[in-house]
Chain A
Amino acid sequence: MLEHNFLDNSDINKYYFNRSYLNKSYLNKDNLLKIRYQLKINKSIILFSILDDHFLKLFQREIDQLEYNPDFKLSFYSCKKARPNQLITTTCKSILKNYFKKEIKTINLYRFGWKDYTILNDKLKSPKCLEAIFIFSKEKWNEDDGGNIVYVDAKGRETVVPITNNSLIIKQKENGEKRYLKYINSGAKHKTIFLIECL
């Protein structure tokens, strides 16, 4: 049952903090309980400033230095994709161990810039599933630049998540719920978004 995918209060002793990764405020037990409670009730949360400042610089350098190859599927998406290295996968998995019961199986690393996007193609399957998305971007984003992450439920209702550097979206997607990244227009010509998708 997906409802049991999130760790709850009875699992309070099950935490896997790695102090060198996380922002200090997330190392606090009370905050952990609040986050887990929020996940159980609302099935989603956005955590800001997820990585510690010093580690963030190292992490961003690691992401920047990877080789990204164009990834284009007509009427589905346009982006660049890289293979995440060990530091990236270990960091993401260890952070998410604080919140998920099951281990993350797949980690995808994408880079989005001007003219990139994803589309809600009808052929896309959208089963109930758990996902976590780490967002990194050195630039400040305006809403009319594009680049927003948008969740659309089965009734067509949208929830827009603006791009904020060093943030983490955790969401249990319901049946028929999809996500897309709004086309990045020329207003953001020199801006870049890195997304680490954990499924």
Chain B
Amino acid sequence: MIKQEDKFNLNNIGLNTLSLNTMIKSKISLNNKDNYLSDWINQKYLSLNSIKKLQLKFKLAQPYSFLELRNFFNKDKIKFIEQAILTINFEKKETDLFSFYQTIDLVSVNDKVLREFHQFLSSNEFLNYLHALSGLKLKPNTIAMSGTRYLAKNYLLPHDDQLEGRALAYFLYLSYLNNKDGGKLELYGKNKDRKMAVINSIIPRKNTFAFFQVSNRSFHQVEEVVSNKERLAISGWFHHA
């Protein structure tokens, strides 16, 4: 059992990460219920023990660093975000690489809930938290964010997301799909035969927050949706500081 006073003693809990030091220097108290993070994020993801485990999980993930965090946001927040995003116009986007529906950049919408959500994701507090999990220093107030909607037969073919400055690609899923519905986020890497194949996948479940490190290896796709279910999400990128 870790004592309250020991929670910030890195030696006692065997952690030696710059990111946790950063959080301490920022005076973020993970147990303070009035804290900005606590307002938004499920408490179970805010304990130091949890962060330690997630750090390792991120680092060791295959085929490249990623995390899938289920029931991540507080339920009331998700409910309002979902309601808000459904009021925004989605336009059909079609190229050689994809077929889906997408909103404009949500930075520019008037909706109060979505603006608050964007502010939260761009905040120093949340970026420090992501820094703690990923080890990546992220630039505040520059995140990209848009809503996507995949209907039956919609898809996004393999690509790596690499563009200058992108550090983490993130997704907040707002609908439930099963394996047989399609729509999985599929991550590519080399299989045991050294051939590129899907190594891991994330099935969209409402209130799952997922992210992966963008690199020249971060190939991924959204599997075609093959049922009549809708795959609704908010996604975008965090950038390097």
A-to-B contact residues, CB < 8 Å: 72, 74-75, 115, 117-120, 144, 146, 150, 152, 180, 182-183, 185-187
B140-182 interface code vs A (CB 8 A; 1 in, 0 out) = 0000000000001101011110000000000000000000001
Q: Note all chain A residues with C-beta closer than 8 A to B226.
A: 186
The yes or no answer to B224 lying at the interface (CB within 8 A) is yes
Closest approach, in angstroms, between the C-beta of A110 and any C-beta of chain B?
Answer: 16
Residues A185 and B96 in contact in the complex (CB < 8 Å), given A74-B188, A75-B159, A75-B160: no
Contact for A117 among B157, B188, B195, B196, CB less than 8 A: B157
Query: How distant is the Cα of A118 from the Cα of B97 in the complex, in angstroms?
Result: 9
Contact for B224 among A72, A119, A180, A186, CB less than 8 A: A186
Closest approach, in angstroms, between the C-beta of B182 and any C-beta of chain A?
Answer: 8
B7-46 interface code vs A (CB 8 A; 1 in, 0 out) = 0000000000000000000000000000000000000000
Q: Which 8 A-B pairs have the closest CB atoms?
A: A185-B153, A74-B196, A180-B96, A120-B96, A186-B226, A75-B158, A119-B96, A74-B158
Closest approach, in angstroms, between the C-beta of A199 and any C-beta of chain B?
Answer: 20
Q: Which of B99, B157, B160, B195 has the most C-beta atoms of chain A within 10 angstroms of its own C-beta?
A: B157
Residue of B nearest to A178 (CB): B96
Query: How distant is the Cα of A180 from the Cα of B157 in the complex, in angstroms?
Result: 13
Q: Note all chain A residues with C-beta closer than 8 A to B224.
A: 115, 183, 185-186
Interface residues on B, range: 10 to 19
Contact for B99 among A115, A152, A183, CB less than 8 A: A183
Q: Is the CB of B157 within 8 A of A119?
A: yes
Closest approach, in angstroms, between the C-beta of B186 and any C-beta of chain A?
Answer: 12
The yes or no answer to B66 lying at the interface (CB within 8 A) is no
Query: How distant is the Cα of A86 from the Cα of B170 in the complex, in angstroms?
Result: 52
Contact for A183 among B157, B159, B160, B195, CB less than 8 A: B157
The yes or no answer to B219 lying at the interface (CB within 8 A) is yes
Query: How distant is the Cα of A95 from the Cα of B159 in the complex, in angstroms?
Result: 38
Contact for B153 among A117, A118, A119, A187, CB less than 8 A: A187
Query: How distant is the Cα of A86 from the Cα of B126 in the complex, in angstroms?
Result: 64
Closest approach, in angstroms, between the C-beta of A162 and any C-beta of chain B?
Answer: 15
Q: Note all chain B residues with C-beta closer than 8 A to A117.
A: 96, 157
Query: How distant is the Cα of A144 from the Cα of B97 in the complex, in angstroms?
Result: 15
Query: How distant is the Cα of A182 from the Cα of B159 in the complex, in angstroms?
Result: 16
Residues A185 and B159 in contact in the complex (CB < 8 Å), given A74-B219, A180-B96: no
Query: How distant is the Cα of A187 from the Cα of B96 in the complex, in angstroms?
Result: 17
Residues A186 and B158 in contact in the complex (CB < 8 Å), given A119-B96, A150-B96: no
